[in-house]
Amino acid sequence: MSASKRISIAVDGPAGAGKSSISKVVAKKLGYLYIDTGAMYRAVTLAVLRAGANPADTDAVSHLLSNLTLRMEPTEEAFRVYVDDNDVTDAIRTQEVNANVSVVAAQKAVRQYLVAQQREMALAGGVILDGRDIGSVVLPNADLKIYLTASVETRAKRRWLEMKDNESVSLDDVKKSVADRDEMDKNREESPLVCVPDAVVIESDNLTFDETVDAMLKLATDVANKAEA
């Protein structure tokens, strides 16, 4: 029997659907590289905020991009991101970044800059990329496309439970922030979040974490075995 192919997997879906935590585990089990494209948009957003620029000012943001050094280090344990050699992997997870990332990610210059790097990282195959436009724009020829979703209530609740400081944030506030981000990501002009027709939809409301991992693993293994190396 020939070896199965090391395929490329695109995982898209709205905020808090579990894309990154699930994709990370699936990638580890398959021995694939996991690429968190959202972390890249977050890193650019953090750089914009730290520079004191207005995240909505497209000229200022595109000027900043020309002087930015962004480096990604995908390992089995984490997807580490560096801005100008500073490790920002944890710093990109704040509410301030959450509140501004969709404004930055809607900009054409930002998307061109990051999509080129994402495609390059995916070239070798044996990769899982998660984001909003992976199946539609970044890897339109991905071997497997998955759209992972759940109701806004489920997604907000998961996010809230995950937050270390959730005594100071209400579930309603998290729900609003998740819904606002979905709204912006789905309605923007540049690469909006869409469920492409050739994606397999996984609704995770009634699935546990492990069940979702298993569903994705099965899809990946089936596609990889059919494709063969």
Which CB atom, from 38 or from 126, has the smaller least distance to ligand CDP? 38
Which CB atom, from 54 or from 218, has the smaller least distance to ligand CDP? 54
What is the spatial distance between Cα 47 and Cα 70, in angstroms, rounded to a whole number?
Answer: 10
Q: How far is the CB of 226 from ligand CDP (least distance, A)?
A: 27
3-state DSSP assignment of residue 93: helix
Cα angle, residue 31 at apex, residues 30 and 37 outer, rounded to 5°? 90
Q: How far is the CB of 229 from ligand CDP (least distance, A)?
A: 28
Which residues partner with 72 through β-bridges? 81
Enumerate binding residues for ligand CDP (CB under 6 A): 15-16, 20, 37-38, 41-42, 101-102, 105, 131-133, 181, 185
Q: How far is the CB of 196 from ligand CDP (least distance, A)?
A: 13
Which CB atom, from 37 or from 212, has the smaller least distance to ligand CDP? 37
Q: How far is the CB of 225 from ligand CDP (least distance, A)?
A: 28
Which CB atom, from 20 or from 32, has the smaller least distance to ligand CDP? 20
Q: Greatest CA separation found in the chain?
A: 58
Two tokens at 158?
């998961």
Q: How far is the CB of 129 from ligand CDP (least distance, A)?
A: 8
Closest CA to 9 of 170, 143, 179: 143
Q: How far is the CB of 48 from ligand CDP (least distance, A)?
A: 13
DSSP 112-180: HHHHHHHHHHHTTS-EEEEESSIIIII-TT-SEEEEEE--HHHHHHHHHHH-TTTTSS-HHHHHHHHHH
Strand order in the sheet with 144-149: 33-36, 127-131, 8-12, 144-149, 200-203
Which CB atom, from 24 or from 132, has the smaller least distance to ligand CDP? 132
> Angle formed by the axes of helices 37-50 and 108-122, to 10°?
140
